[in-house]
Amino acid sequence: MLVLGDSLSAEYGISRGEGWVSLLERQLNDKAPTWQVFNASISGETTAGGLSRLPDLLLQQKPQLVIIELGANDALRGLALSSTEKNLRTMVQLSRKAKAKVLLLGMRIPVNYGATYSKQFAAMYPAIASAERVSVVPFFLKGVAEKPELFQADRLHPRAEAQSILLQNVLGKLTPML
């Protein structure tokens, strides 16, 4: 399994081994030890960066399943939704061409980026998943975003206490794919 994400999956600001990907790996080791998890997440990663790295990762890791958790940094930088969508769609297609199942983790952004942009950004993930026939978690931070106490001081990155919630959000869609 390949996880391609940004700081939310790269354990930014928390101790190594406390992030949702590490929790997932431990749980899989207990319940489905045939699965290995390779976390290729990088803090600050954009969809363009993920897309540029994905072909080599697919060749090297030969994953049966790819989890894509990208797009938030595109939005925070005000990048065009059309390019974010194209990059995500291409990553999904490359993963499927490599015979991997895909789980897309959706994000939302605050309305201070504009109500229309925020709405279109949130809708982009389910639209891609529907068009490409892959699974999607519509909002990866569900159950966390509305609780300020679960965030680090920067108000962007979840604390260690939130990681089990993120994992549960993922497992709801991931478990049937295993």
Q: Show which residues are catalytic.
A: 7, 154, 157
Q: How far apart are the first and last CA of the chain?
A: 10
- CB-based contacts of 18: which residues, under 8 Å, 6+ apart? 11, 160, 163
Nearest to 170 by CA among 16, 39, 56, 59: 39
CA 9, 14, 15, 19 dihedral sign is negative
Closest CA to 66 of 41, 100, 94: 100
List phi, psi (to 5°) of 146.
-90, 10
